[in-house]
Amino acid sequence: MPEIAIQHINKRFGKVQALKDINITVENGEVFGLVGPDGAGKSTMFNILTTLLKPDSGEVEVLGMDVVKDYLQIRQVIGYLPGVFSLYPDLSVQENLAFFATMYKSSILDNMSLIKPIWKQLVPFKDRPAGKLSGGMKQKLALCCALIHKPKLLFLDEPTTGVDPVSRREFWDILKDIQHKGVTVVVSTPYMDEATRCDRIALIQNGEIIKIDTPNKIISNFRGHLFTMKTDDIFGLMQLMEQFELRCNYYPYGEHFHIAFYDDVEKALPAFEEFLQQHEREHGEIKPITPNIEDCFIELIQMK
Amino acid sequence: MKELRMILYKELIHIVRDKITLFLVLAIPIMLVLLFGFTISTEIRNAQIAILDQAKDGQSASLIDKISSSGYFQIVAYPETESEIDRDFKEIDIKLALIIPPDFEHALEKDKMATLQVINDVSDLNVASILNNYLLAITHDYINEYNNMGEETGSVEIVTNMLYNPESNSVYMFVPGIITLIMIIVTALMSSITLAREKETGTMNMLLITPVKKVYVIIGKVIPYMCLSLISTIMIIVISVFVFKMPVNGSIWLLLLLCIVFMFTAASFGMMISAISKTQIDAMMVTMMGLFLPTVLLSGFLFPLDNMPMFFQVLADVFPAKWFIIAIKDVMIKGSGFFDIWKYLGILILMAIILITISLTNVDKRK
């Protein structure tokens, strides 16, 4: 039995179709990632999975229980870390944790084993009001609160948004540790680089699932031949590329310009170089690169 | 129960750490009572008046005596002509002028009645009508005494006996009103704002996905503010009894029971409001417009309900304040017992039950 089975769910807010016919299964013990830009429908998805919102249609089973009918039972076995900081800012770190422990009929000491590595980092700040913690520390505290009752399933809605890169890496190490202790983790993120740390990911955009697979498979299924180069005037080049006739996909990537060719690359690459020369474009070396999740995401959106 | 204790403890921390709000909640009631008590008074003493005594006889002298010894009037001028009265109104700002006609004593003897003329400064309507009533009462008294001195006692006499508030003390009016307002503000407004804050910051969702009973969440939110408003109420009563000599003629325990029942109703109003509002601003606006204004305007506290159009009288019945003010006045001033006011207690409890049912079904409403 899958840990989570989502079948054909739809959710609409007024005129906005937030989720369109979503189908996902999450297996026991995996770290499953929902990857997509802001406004893709990730938080709506989480609110449905954590029983805070009802889907308009379709069925969702969490641990074999229906999110609409059995929501009270589901609430006892899941942990949730919402997208916005949702602890009491005027309560101290320890008071917050003790509060949520009691709400789950549990106590801090009972479940120390699961949260010990995180709690150790929080101990020096245990008397500080939660509102005065740094972004990373806030998320660690929220994670402690979400884990205090030993949930079987942990939902994390953009846990690393607004957290510095070092703390982000640390946070993912913690998640892996939690996974090894037998907790299934569903996590959303707008950062493509974090997607590779999930066992499987669902790429989501405008309320639709574009692809569900392991990060490696998604990358190996990249269809084009991807090249990167540096150029000073990316905007000008983007406009100029409208005149380029061969089948390709191009986009700015930071300071770089990415281009993927879909026809015979032996012919396409020289043609592209000639095209640049013709229009007297200054550019750096054109290097082949392995696509990352973001390149795949862009390709999948283009193909739709 | 452990959960409820924890929620209460948490709420207590919120209250204690938010020092400004705590101070306001405890200080505003005291300020309101003192403000109303010392400044807003419908009782006027030592109003400055002028008397033009055209009679200058024994009767007019004793009437003037009676007026000046009443304590309500201070005779500051004795003008000789009517134009001097005009001058006194403008220059020494008298509130009222009384003209005693030349044939005053004669008229009394002959007709057993006389006509007096009163000139009022009606730029303040309230003051003018109050002073008029005082003067009327004094002259009435005077005429009656005069008539009774003679042998003929055939004239009909109306003796008004002012029950419960013989001195028309305004403190009797505003203390019940202030208690009502404070309980509405502290219990309904504070609990609805803090519940809305939990929605706004997302902690409500965190609470909802825990297995804790939703009743605990609500009760835990409301009880601390009920205690706070009980403290305020007791402070108001103590101040009004010891500073303004307000009587508590009924049982003090019945008074407390009544206050607790009303707080309960106010709190359930607060819960209903927070159930329908998403943000703190919403909660505040709804409480102000939907509860505070009707309480001020439609409770009989400032404006008598009997004179209102039927629509507003019916509307007033829907809000708890009217019933509470009737009951609290009965207990404090009339000294009514439980069996005199059980009807009002019943109405308040019924309102609370209806409101709590509505809000409990709304708190975990998933869309």
Determine, for residues B209 and A90 on separate chains, whether the beta-carbon distance falls below 8 Å: no
Residue of B nearest to A73 (CA): B211
Q: Which of B8, B209, B363 to mutate to test binding with chain A, by most A CBs within 10 Å of its CB?
A: B209
pLDDT of residue A187: 93
Whether A69 has its CB under 8 Å from any CB of chain B: the answer is: no
Determine, for residues B211 and A78 on separate chains, whether the beta-carbon distance falls below 8 Å: no
* Spatial separation of the C-alpha atoms in residues B226 and B232, rounded to whole Å: 10
* Spatial separation of the C-alpha atoms in residues B229 and B259, rounded to whole Å: 9
My answer on whether B241 and B144 are in the same domain is no
* More confident: A208 or B32: A208
Calculate the CA A77 to chain-centre distance.
Answer: 22
Strands A225-230 and A248-253: unpaired
Interface ipTM above 0.90 = no
How confident is the model over A242-259, as pLDDT tens digits?
A: 888 888 888 888 888 899
Q: Report the sign of the C-alpha dihedral through residues A225, A229, A234, A237, in that order.
A: negative
Q: Which of B7, B213, B366 to mutate to test binding with chain A, by most A CBs within 10 Å of its CB?
A: B366
| Residue written as token pair 């505290």 | A141
- Residues of chain B neighbouring A80 (CB-CB closer than 8 A): 205-206, 209
Report which of B271, B270, B267 is spatially closest to residue B362, judged by C-alpha positions. B271
Q: Is residue B226 part of a domain?
A: yes
pLDDT of residue B257: 92
pLDDT of residue B150: 55
Predicted structure pTM score: 0.77
My answer on whether B182 and B329 are in the same domain is yes
Whether A265 has its CB under 8 Å from any CB of chain B: the answer is: no
Whether A82 has its CB under 8 Å from any CB of chain B: the answer is: yes
- What pLDDT band is residue B218 in, cutting at 50, 70 and 90? confident
- What pLDDT band is residue A188 in, cutting at 50, 70 and 90? very high
My answer on whether B31 and B61 are in the same domain is no
Residue type, B203: T
**Total number of residues shown for chain A:** 304
pLDDT of residue A48: 92
Q: What angle do CA A245, A248, A252 make, to 5 degrees?
A: 110
Please compute the mean of the pLDDT values over residues B259-285 and round it to a whole number.
88
Q: Which of residues 104-143 of B touch A (CB under 8 A)?
A: none
Confirm if A155 and A80 have CB atoms less than 8 A apart: yes
Query: What is the residue range of B87's domain?
Result: 47-149
Q: For each of the domains in chain A, give its residue range(s) and CATH number, in order of start.
A: 4-214 (3.40.50.300), 222-303 (3.30.70.270)
Residue B123 has pLDDT above 90, yes or no: no
pLDDT of residue B202: 87
Q: Which of B75-89, B134-148, B324-338 has the lowest average pLDDT? A: B134-148
My answer on whether B87 and B228 are in the same domain is no
Residue A110 has pLDDT above 80, yes or no: no
How far does the CA of residue B19 sit from the closest CA of chain A (Å)? 12
My answer on whether B31 and B60 are in the same domain is no
Residue B144 has pLDDT above 90, yes or no: no
Residue B346 has pLDDT above 90, yes or no: yes
Determine, for residues B210 and A88 on separate chains, whether the beta-carbon distance falls below 8 Å: no
Whether B14 has its CB under 8 Å from any CB of chain A: the answer is: yes
pLDDT of residue B153: 44
Q: Which of residues 96-155 of A touch B (CB under 8 A)?
A: 98-100, 102-105, 145
Determine, for residues B367 and A54 on separate chains, whether the beta-carbon distance falls below 8 Å: yes
Assign 3-class secondary structure to A240-256.
Answer: HHHHCCCCEEEEEECCE
How confident is the model over B42-66, as pLDDT tens digits?
A: 667 788 899 988 888 888 888 888 8
CATH number of the CATH domain containing B69: 3.40.1710.10
**Total number of residues shown for chain B:** 367
The number of distinct structural domains making up chain B is 2
| Residue written as token pair 């969490």 | A62
My answer on whether B34 and B102 are in the same domain is no
My answer on whether B185 and B308 are in the same domain is yes
Please compute the mean of the pLDDT values over residues A94-107 and round it to a whole number.
89
Q: Which of residues 48-67 of A touch B (CB under 8 A)?
A: 50-54
